[in-house]
């Protein structure tokens, strides 16, 4: 699969601006109006895309399914049913996202959801961590030819490799998100270095699906090679949202995006060279070979005749061994720099008196 691909009108991959996915998730609480307000909040925060979760409780959990650690509900069927939206609702969210300049990304939780979403033409599909072993769903999403983002919470490297094999070459691009499926992630369990491991192992764009309580998660992810960053978004003051513990307000998400951008700029290209800001300091800070006393044409330069002093407006100190023994063709005042032309006779094969030196 390619190392770069498009989601909407944005190019995703190493060296590109961070692609920020604002996850609406379940924070709409079943309200389309709240979901649309979350789209507006994501746009205000500087996100690149919004993501929705498309589910039907009956297609997701069996009666009596135990609740995950972060959910308190006697029935998961009833719990998830309250977050169901109609196709018209998802269509409205997609339309609002595009009118706000955002890509529309969706996580389908059933094969039928993929069929429905194809009528809305999402810009990419996301495979939730819990479905990384659902081969048929991965194949269905990849079979649309749209980009695929796979979250890797709870998964080991062989399972991730198998999921990518299921996607095959049918997706127009694929990315992997490091994720720890705890809500929120306990301090010390973030394991952010796994971002670099995923990039090194699979050679694909990587990122972070952030369930941490760390304000620094986004910039650290970028420093580790993340091209994508996903975070749940919540409306200001909405403390009742189901995913509030792993969500950011628009201001909080905007701050994370700014910090990530600052880190990306600070990381630079990685090419070691003299940077424009330090170029004016190179001559004043480096040294040159200079006359330690007054010298006249015909003098043979001895080691004691050479001082190594700033600035670097003459012959580099690296040429000191070559300068010793050279017969000068010009006069030099104390402190005057030796120049490359003083080695001209050396370059022609003459002008050095090693015995005199």
| 33-42, 58-67, 99-108: least confidently modelled range | 58-67
CA angle 163, 168, 169 (to 5 degrees): 145
* ω into 155 cis (within 30 of 0): no
Beta bridge mates, 66: none
Which run of H or E residues covers position 224?
A: none
Which run of H or E residues covers position 233?
A: strand 228-233
Q: Which fold has domain 279-347?
A: Type Iii Antifreeze Protein Isoform Hplc 12 (3.90.1210)
Burial class (CB in 10 A: 0-12, 13-18, 19+), 105: buried
* Confidence tier at 346 by pLDDT (50, 70, 90): low
pLDDT by residue (tens digit) across 177-224? 999 999 999 999 999 999 999 999 999 999 999 999 999 999 999 999
Statement: residue 280 has pLDDT above 80 = yes
**Are the C-beta atoms of 137 and 118 separated by less than 8 Å?**
no
- Tell which residue, 313, 348, 304, has the closest CA to residue 329: 348
Burial class (CB in 10 A: 0-12, 13-18, 19+), 69: exposed
Q: How far apart are CA 49 and CA 171, in angstroms?
A: 19
Q: How far apart are CA 134 and CA 201, in angstroms?
A: 22
* Confidence tier at 138 by pLDDT (50, 70, 90): very high
* ω into 311 cis (within 30 of 0): yes
Give the distance, in angstroms, between the CA of residue 302 and the centroid of all CA atoms in the same chain. Answer: 56
- Same-fold call for 5-267 versus 279-347: no
Token pair of 53 as six digits: 């979760």
Q: How far apart are CA 81 and CA 32, in angstroms?
A: 14
pLDDT by residue (tens digit) across 246-259? 999 999 999 999 99
Domain parsing of the chain, residue ranges: 5-267, 279-347
CA angle 259, 268, 316 (to 5 degrees): 140
E strands, 29-158, are: 49-54, 103-108, 124-127, 148-151
- Tell which residue, 142, 161, 261, 162, has the closest CA to residue 203: 161
**Are the C-beta atoms of 79 and 98 separated by less than 8 Å?**
no
- Tell which residue, 250, 242, 249, has the closest CA to residue 55: 242
pTM of this prediction? Answer: 0.87
Statement: residue 175 has pLDDT above 60 = yes
For domain 5-267, say whether CATH 3.20.20.70 is its number.
yes
Statement: residue 348 has pLDDT above 90 = no
């Amino acid at each position: 699969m390619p190392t770069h691909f498009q989601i909407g009108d944005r190019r995703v991959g190493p060296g590109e601006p961070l692609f920020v996915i604002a996850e609406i998730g379940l924070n709409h609480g079943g309200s389309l109006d709240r979901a649309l307000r979350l789209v507006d909040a994501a746009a205000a925060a500087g996100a690149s895309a919004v993501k929705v979760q498309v589910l039907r409780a009956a297609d997701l959990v069996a009666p009596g399914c135990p609740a995950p650690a972060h959910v308190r509900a006697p029935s998961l069927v009833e719990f998830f049913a309250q977050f169901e939206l109609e196709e018209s609702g998802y269509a409205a969210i997609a339309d609002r996202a595009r009118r706000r300049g955002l890509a529309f990304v969706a996580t389908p939780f059933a094969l039928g959801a993929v069929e429905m979403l194809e009528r809305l033409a999402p810009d990419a599909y996301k495979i939730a961590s819990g479905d990384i072993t659902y081969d048929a769903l991965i194949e269905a999403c990849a079979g649309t030819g749209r980009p695929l983002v796979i979250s890797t919470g709870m998964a080991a490297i062989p399972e991730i490799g198998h999921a990518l094999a299921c996607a095959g070459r049918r997706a127009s691009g694929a990315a992997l998100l490091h994720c720890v499926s705890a809500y929120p992630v306990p301090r010390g369990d973030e394991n952010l270095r796994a971002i670099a491991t995923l990039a090194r192992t699979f050679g694909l764009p990587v990122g972070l699906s952030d369930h941490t309580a760390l304000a620094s998660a986004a910039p650290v992810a970028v420093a580790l090679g993340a091209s994508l960053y996903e975070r749940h978004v919540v409306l200001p003051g909405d403390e009742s949202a189901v995913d509030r513990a792993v969500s950011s307000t628009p201001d909080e998400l905007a701050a994370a995006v700014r910090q990530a951008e600052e880190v990306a700029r600070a990381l630079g290209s990685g090419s070691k060279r003299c940077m424009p800001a330090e170029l004016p300091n190179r001559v004043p800070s480096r040294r040159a070979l200079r006359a330690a006393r007054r010298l006249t044409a015909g003098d043979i330069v001895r080691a004691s005749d050479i001082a190594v002093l700033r600035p670097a407006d003459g012959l580099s100190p690296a040429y000191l061994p070559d300068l010793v023994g050279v017969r000068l063709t010009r006069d030099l005042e104390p402190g005057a720099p030796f120049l490359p032309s003083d080695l001209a006779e050396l370059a022609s094969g003459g002008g050095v008196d090693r015995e005199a030196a």
